[in-house]
Chain A
Amino acid sequence: MNQWYLFLAFFRVGILGYGGGPSSIPLVQKEVVEKYKWLNNEEFGNILALANALPGPIATKMAGYIGYRVAGVIGMLNAVLATIVPTIFLMIILLTFLSSASDTPWMNGMTKAVLPVVGVMLAVLAFNFLKKAKVDLGWFWMSILAITSFLFTELLGIHPAILILGLLIVALVKPDADKQEESS
């Protein structure tokens, strides 16, 4: 049954994700965390961070890993294929038979109308991450990290992968007082 749900979840992600892989991030979260509860938000955050830090398409990395976690290698294949095959089919059929369909006004209109919807979904997801970060880190450190991230990635144009890897390394080698808290 899990395989069927995996297929359904990622089929929806693929067919609803207008604007490429990144727009499917909030859809994956809806399906995987909220609907089927295969992962909690924390695990989803880790997966997203790593998917962002590694090269290659985001959507297939998430689908593949989550499919693998839920139902092994078959689950991985299932989730990846459900994400990509329907739209590849559509693409081949449309481009082979009516190569001018992308110029039709109604098709452009569809894409335009979806942009703000995806924007809202991404913004809500971003807000939820900040809320969770505030709970764990407190206002002060959350703001410091958020502002630093903003400066690095948006203003200085440093690639997010570098920032994410840097933060991971700091978290890994920092030997400090947390340890005593944890052991006490």
Chain B
Amino acid sequence: MSTYWQLFIAFFIPGILGYGGGPASIPLVENEVVGRFQWMTVSDFSEMLAMANALPGPIATKMAGFIGFQQGGVMGSVVAVFATVVPSLLLMIILLGLLMKYKDSPKVKRMTMFIRPTIAVLLGAMALQFFQTSYVDTGFFQMSGIGLISFLLMERLKVHPAFVIAGALVFGALFLG
């Protein structure tokens, strides 16, 4: 089996089984990369994961891009990212295409309505997770201070989140390191 084909398999499976976004696919990637293909040791993997977590952007594609590059150079990187992204994206475009075609039908309008509270709950739960991690990492004072200030900046003063995030990064590098 060629490396490219192996890379495709290794990232196609987490991409298609990882419900709940990139972070959910981390153990699946580990299973393929460490368990099945043995490209990395567990400690290599956790070092890579630490870096993937410290950098911005989607986790799954960062892992795919890096492991692909290690195993098969630039082409390997392209193959691994392709396998992660494309299958679920195609599904998404096809299903949303159908939905948008009938978007004026009362049934589709009702779908939108019914789903909204669920989405709110899921987003709220994600928010809670971020606060929880922050509380464990830096304590209540830092968490609520940064949270409150960023809320005021973004929601009251309408500062673009880019500036708020950049500000938080600088603050963190200087004071939370």
Which A residues are within 8 Å of any B CB, using their own CB?
A: 12, 14-27, 30, 42-43, 45-52, 54-61, 64-65, 68, 76, 80, 83-84, 86-88, 90-92, 94-95, 99, 101-127, 129-130, 132-133, 136-137, 142, 145-146, 149-150, 153-154, 159-161, 163-164, 167-168, 170-172, 174, 178-179, 182
B1 within 8 Å of A by Cβ?
Answer: no
Enumerate chain A residues within 8 angstroms of B66, measured Cβ to Cβ. 88, 91-92, 95
B96 within 8 Å of A by Cβ?
Answer: yes
Which B residues are within 8 Å of any A CB, using their own CB?
A: 15-23, 25, 47-48, 50-62, 65-66, 69, 77, 81, 84-85, 87-89, 91-93, 95-96, 99-100, 106-107, 110-128, 130-131, 133-134, 137-138, 142-144, 146-147, 150-151, 154-155, 160-162, 164-165, 168-169, 171-177
Query: Are B52 and A50 neighbours in the complex by a CB distance under 8 Å?
Result: no
> How would you classify the secondary structure of chain B's contact residues: helix, strand, loop or mixed?
helix
Enumerate chain B residues within 8 angstroms of A111, measured Cβ to Cβ. 53-54, 172
Q: Given A56-B60, A92-B66, A116-B130, 19 other A-B contacts at CB below 8 A?
A: A12-B162, A22-B126, A45-B112, A46-B96, A50-B95, A55-B19, A57-B59, A58-B58, A64-B89, A92-B77, A102-B53, A102-B54, A106-B177, A111-B172, A115-B133, A116-B147, A117-B146, A149-B122, A167-B115
Query: Are B174 and A109 neighbours in the complex by a CB distance under 8 Å?
Result: yes
Query: Are A57 and B84 neighbours in the complex by a CB distance under 8 Å?
Result: yes
> How would you classify the secondary structure of chain A's contact residues: helix, strand, loop or mixed?
helix
